[in-house]
């Protein structure tokens, strides 16, 4: 009789990857990063175990979007109070907080559970070319075309 392999937390070996977002399309980059964070690129992938790796994104301010999304895409947040609905266009959000754009896109592609929140903590986004994770010796990540 054959046995089914069940992935355990102890079996997971995490890697660190660095991605340069310069000229990358927002959604296409976010899907690849979410795939790495979930661990779907590994043969030991299991939906109920966090098998993903750490991802560092640099140059988030140089992300590329297609069409007229810079002016038409609106991000909303609500304080919970009457009249507390705030909105900001993508162009303004990229100027004020460029890291939030990528974080929002990747978070939307992860599971909405404790597991998804744990996966999201492995994402590190920086607006410029520098990051403080050189000690982890991140490998450059080659994205699929």
Q: Which domains does the chain have, with CATH numbers?
A: 14-65+98-128 (3.90.1180.10)
Structure confidence at residue 4 (pLDDT): 87
* Stretch 12-28: mean pLDDT: 95
pLDDT above 90 for 136: yes
Structure confidence at residue 70 (pLDDT): 95
The residue behind tokens 């939030």 is 100
pLDDT above 70 for 120: yes
Q: Which of 144, 113, 136 is nearest to 53 (CA)?
A: 136
* Stretch 14-35: mean pLDDT: 96
Structure confidence at residue 145 (pLDDT): 55
């Amino acid at each position: 009789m054959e046995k089914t392999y069940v992935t355990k937390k102890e079996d997971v070996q995490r890697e660190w990857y660095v991605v340069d977002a310069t000229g990358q399309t927002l959604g296409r980059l976010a899907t690849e990063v979410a795939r790495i964070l979930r661990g779907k690129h590994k043969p030991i992938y299991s939906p109920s175990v966090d098998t993903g790796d750490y991802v560092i994104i640099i140059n988030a301010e140089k992300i590329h979007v297609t069409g007229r999304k810079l002016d038409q895409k609106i991000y909303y947040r609500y304080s919970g109070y009457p009249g507390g609905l705030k909105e900001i266009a993508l162009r303004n959000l990229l100027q004020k907080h460029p890291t939030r754009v990528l974080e929002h896109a990747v978070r939307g592609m992860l599971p909405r559970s404790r597991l998804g929140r744990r996966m999201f903590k492995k994402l590190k986004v920086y607006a410029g070319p520098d990051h403080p994770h050189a000690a982890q010796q991140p490998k450059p990540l080659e994205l699929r075309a």
